[in-house]
A and B are shown apart, each in its own frame.
Chain A
């Protein structure tokens, strides 16, 4: 069964550094998403992406964040200058029918900012 994959599974970075989290969505999916979950808290929507542009973004998704689909398979989330409060689990998801339908989630990348 096809699945969403994410790399790395765990990323440790120093405050102020840039990180890129990578996702490979399911191959025939057209809609892509990033979420984050701070430890012990609820899942928060960051951004949705379709047709090579951002469809929607939340208030969390400020100028330090960016997303890109650099090729036909990867979907990346870049955090430009990490802060301690960016430490969280970041989930990528994809769907083939738009965000009202089932999204398939990746296993997540745990980001630790020290």
Chain B
């Protein structure tokens, strides 16, 4: 069974600063994928970044980057140069063999 843990219910960051969201996961599979999804107040889920477990290189997507530590089963998300539009709930998720598991989410608050 897969489990995904996000230990930070809420993180606050000032505009233009950097915030890191933590995520740990547990899976017995060797082939899996990891995702960060953003859910703004509109509630529509938007993919932020995706990481293939077999790739050692950390995924990046503009201001968003991950620190993927496979041995530690850790998959943190760094948001650089935070913007007001980054305010949302962020979910970490794992996928293996067609099944998804989401974490409980971290609410990101961006202050001017």
**Chain A residues in the interface with B (C-beta under 8 A):** 33, 35, 41-45, 48, 55-56, 58, 89, 91, 93, 99-103, 105-108
**Are A45 and B104 touching (Cβ within 8 A)?**
no
Q: List 14 A-B contacts (CB under 8 A).
A: A35-B100, A42-B102, A43-B93, A44-B102, A45-B101, A48-B98, A55-B98, A56-B99, A58-B99, A93-B45, A99-B98, A100-B95, A101-B50, A108-B44
Interface residues in B43-62 (C-beta closer than 8 Å to A):
43-47, 50, 52
Which chain A residue lies CB-closest to B43?
A108
Q: How large is the interface on B (under 10, 10 to 19, 20 to 34, 35 or more residues)?
A: 20 to 34
SS of B interface (majority): strand
How near does chain A come to B18, taking the closest CB pair, in angstroms?
25
Give the residues in chain A near B44, CB-CB below 8 Å.
Answer: 105-108
Give the residues in chain B near A105, CB-CB below 8 Å.
Answer: 44-46
How near does chain A come to B37, taking the closest CB pair, in angstroms?
8
